[in-house]
């Protein structure tokens, strides 16, 4: 896709500080890095979101995420690491090419990831689990 910035990075049309590449994935430094070692891991093929990933792409991407996360840990010794991935505008997705942020964390770095805990009743959790099982069974 000629208008996708990540496709252009994959194609070498836009420079990026590449960290790792294989046949299915690419990892490069985030130009909007929060902390040193902030890496984006993306599919090489244009896939807009998690819903469009096939199982092979999902497996390859997670292998690269785990490998890069270990490298970030060993190279930068952060206090922690977040993996962040968004699907759709409502979830905060801004680049519509599937990618995962490997985000090294330090105490007091200003990053926040919190949500309002609603504590639904157990019956609602059980009903929701059944709805999901039904879809997964096909």
The one catalytic residue among 38, 97, 99, 101: 99
> Sheet containing 39-43: which strands, arranged edge to edge?
18-21, 25-29, 39-43, 99-105, 80-84
- Whether 22 and 60 have beta carbons less than 8 Å apart is answered as yes
Write down the residue that tokens 């294989």 correspond to: 22
User: How does 70-89 read in b/e, with b if 16+ C-beta sit within 10 Å?
Assistant: ebbeeeeebeebeeebbeee
Measured CA to CA, the distance from residue 94 to residue 122 in angstroms comes to 35
99 given a catalytic annotation:
yes
Q: Which residue numbers are catalytic? A: 99
């Amino acid at each position: 896709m000629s208008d996708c910035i990540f496709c252009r990075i994959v194609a070498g049309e836009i420079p990026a500080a590449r960290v790792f590449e294989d046949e299915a994935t690419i990892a490069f430094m985030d130009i909007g890095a929060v902390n040193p070692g902030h890496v984006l891991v993306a599919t090489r093929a244009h896939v807009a979101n998690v819903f469009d990933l096939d199982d092979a792409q999902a497996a390859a991407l997670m292998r690269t995420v785990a490998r890069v996360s270990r490298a970030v840990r060993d190279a930068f010794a952060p206090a922690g690491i977040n993996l962040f991935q968004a699907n759709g505008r409502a979830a905060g997705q801004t680049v519509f090419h599937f990618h995962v942020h490997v985000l090294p964390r330090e105490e007091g770095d200003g990053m926040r990831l919190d949500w309002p805990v609603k504590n639904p009743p157990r019956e609602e959790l059980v009903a929701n689990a059944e709805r999901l099982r039904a879809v997964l069974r096909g």
